[in-house]
Amino acid sequence: MNPGSVTVIAHGLGGSADLPIPLTYALIGAAWALTFTFAVVALAWKRPRFDPEKPGRELPSWVTATVDAPVTRWTLGIVGLLLTVWVGFAAFFGPQNGDNPLPGVFYVLMWVGLVAASLLLGPVWRVLSPVRTVHRMLGGKSLRNYPEALGYWPAALGLFAFVWLELASPDPGSLAAIRNWLLIYLVVTLAGAFVCGARWCARADPFEVYGIVVSRLAALRRNRDGRIAIGNPFDHLPSLPVRPGIVAVLSVLLGSTAFDSFSARPQWRSFIGETAGSAATATLINTAGLFAFACVVAGTFWLAARATGGVDREQRRALPGQMAHSLIPIVVGYVFAHYLTYLIERGQQTVYLLLGMDVNVNYFLSLHPSVLATLKVGFVVAGHIAGVIAAHDRALRLLPKAHQLTGQLAMMLAMVGYTFTGLYLLFGG
Amino acid sequence: MAAALLVAGCGDKGQNYTVSTSSATSVSPSELPDHQAPPDRLVFRVVIKDGTVTPTNDQFEAAVGQPIIFQIDSDVADELHVHSNPEHSFPIEAKPNQMFQFTVDVPGKVDVELHELNKTVATITVR
């Protein structure tokens, strides 16, 4: 039907999906999440403790010097560029079947691997981005400034385009579709960089923005003077820049991961099969579903952040953005719960395909379903608890004294809602 | 949803499907009290006729290493893709009563799809 297609399954990667987690695991996770939430609201500290200005413990100065040395930057940039060329070569001239590493590179290494790398090391896409390297090689000039009013909206759109290809497009595994997506991405990002400068990459490149968002949960960070330091991630989280579209970015990430679970359910598949007469209608319904999931997350978060007394109009408008960082741990926890086996097992497979090695993939996680289920529930609950703590602390800083308890309730309920939905979807309904 | 879970030996549920027990198993597993006995084979029947597939999006469970057989009547050529780790792929010809046997050795949810028709026939939960 489709000459360039590899498989027609969601993710375009083939292979099996994780077993649903057992009901008891989901219930225990939900009970912990609920208990902890109300313990935090009612019993935890009453004065804000986390401060993005608090410097972390400095690492030796040679670390910063090495990381910032132009040699390091250029080397890493050129490595990123060479990797891009290599993957591009494989995409066009490699085997046009399931042995092509492109879907794995795209859906596993770039999407999930980026989260893991950004969490451990900080925003690595900045140094690896081929667009940034090309832009710098050609003199780094720009025609005008980045329009500040756009904020992160172009990135939110780019992220939606990514999850659309993965979860709603007719054939996510098609090499041609992935190639086209990447070519459009490269053209748009390069054009943006040459028109608006490197700031385009920082605000509009979906991968870089995803990396920046996730890196706020990292222990490694930079102090105000630029020194690389290690500190409490809760101090780092509130340093997320609040710009237009930041809630949309996080909502697309959380909503799409939930839709990924949801759309694999047999009820949804049967519904699509019965309702949609053609592949185009199926794509439309899936697109609407994906969009609805992102909108539900955005809408509930926006409402919950604003649902407090004692603030004026202006402050209320600012609240969703100021609370947005508290969604980061929930997103990261859910992404790991959902894609851990993809990262570890498909990641191995992709690397072997790229290197042309014929090595057997180690399926340790899939072979131990109870370990995997424990890890998944652990990630979701840990993400939830961290999100609740971050939101509580921020509420203490933002809300007037008289409304600090009641003003948090809606946000806590929204977060409990996300986590219960997440666990329910992992359990499989 | 049609009764698709057809374990040889307790096939009374699915009147639409036939259960083929091979003559290779000389002793009926029900006579063996030993739970270590090799698992029964699962037989899943699929009919492809005039561009429609019966059943689609069906669900059943299987054990790791249990032989699973797809018995297919088709009027067109297609490919049966089994999205397990590693994957299996079988060419389907336009003829009745073709049998494809495989086992799944890594637990997970395994989609079985018809490639050309772009339909998921069944999802096997392998534990």
Q: pLDDT band at residue A280, thresholds of 50, 70 and 90? A: confident
Q: Which amino acid, residue A242? A: V
DSSP, collapsed to helix, strand or coil, labels residue B120 as strand
Q: What is the mean pLDDT of chain A?
A: 90
B32 found inside a domain: no
> How confident is the model at residue A153, as a pLDDT?
96
Pairing of strands A228-230, A220-222: antiparallel
Q: What average pLDDT does this structure show over A18-39?
A: 90
Contact criterion met (CB below 8 Å) for A177 and A171: yes
Q: What average pLDDT does this structure show over A281-301?
A: 95
Q: Which residues of A372-385 are buried (b: 16+ CB within 10 A; e: fewer)?
A: bbebbbbbbbbbbb
The domain segmentation of chain A, as residue ranges, is: 10-427
DSSP, collapsed to helix, strand or coil, labels residue B74 as strand
A-B contacts (CB, under 8 Å)? 71
Pairing of strands B119-126, B108-114: antiparallel
Which residues form the domain of B69?
A: 39-126
Q: What average pLDDT does this structure show over A71-76?
A: 94
Q: pTM here?
A: 0.87
B22 found inside a domain: no
> How confident is the model at residue B25, as a pLDDT?
42
Q: Which amino acid, residue A139? A: G
Distance CA A362, CA A344 (A): 9
Q: pLDDT band at residue B55, thresholds of 50, 70 and 90? A: confident
Q: What average pLDDT does this structure show over B64-92?
A: 90
> How confident is the model at residue A15, as a pLDDT?
80
Residue B57 C-alpha from the chain's centroid? 13
Does the beta-carbon distance from B127 to A17 stay under 8 Å? Answer: no
Q: Which amino acid, residue A316? A: R
Residue B60 has pLDDT above 50, yes or no: yes
Distance CA A21, CA A74 (A): 45
B26 found inside a domain: no
Name residue, tokens 């992220």. A159
Residues B43, B46, B50: CA angle, nearest 5 degrees: 170
Q: Which tens digits make up the pLDDT trace of A15-24? A: 888 888 989 9
> How confident is the model at residue A422, as a pLDDT?
92
Q: What average pLDDT does this structure show over A59-66?
A: 93
Q: What average pLDDT does this structure show over A332-346?
A: 92
* Nearest by Cα to A96 from A4, A7, A173: A4
Q: Which tens digits make up the pLDDT trace of A215-263? A: 999 999 999 888 999 999 999 999 999 999 999 999 999 999 999 989 8
Residue B105 C-alpha from the chain's centroid? 15
B72 found inside a domain: yes
Residue of A nearest to B59 (CA): A266
* Domains identified in chain B, total number: 1
Chain B positions touching chain A (beta carbons under 8 Å): 56-57, 59, 81, 83-87, 104, 106-111, 113, 115-116, 118-120, 123, 125-127
What's the gap in Å between the CA of A175 and the closest CA on chain B?
16
State yes or no: ipTM above 0.90: no
Residues 334-393, chain A, touching B (beta carbon < 8 A): 345, 361, 363, 366-367, 369
B65 found inside a domain: yes
Residue B21 has pLDDT above 50, yes or no: no
What is the number of other CB atoms lying within 10 angstroms of the CB of residue A414? Answer: 22
CATH code for position B104: 2.60.40.420
> How confident is the model at residue B85, as a pLDDT?
84
> How confident is the model at residue A390, as a pLDDT?
94
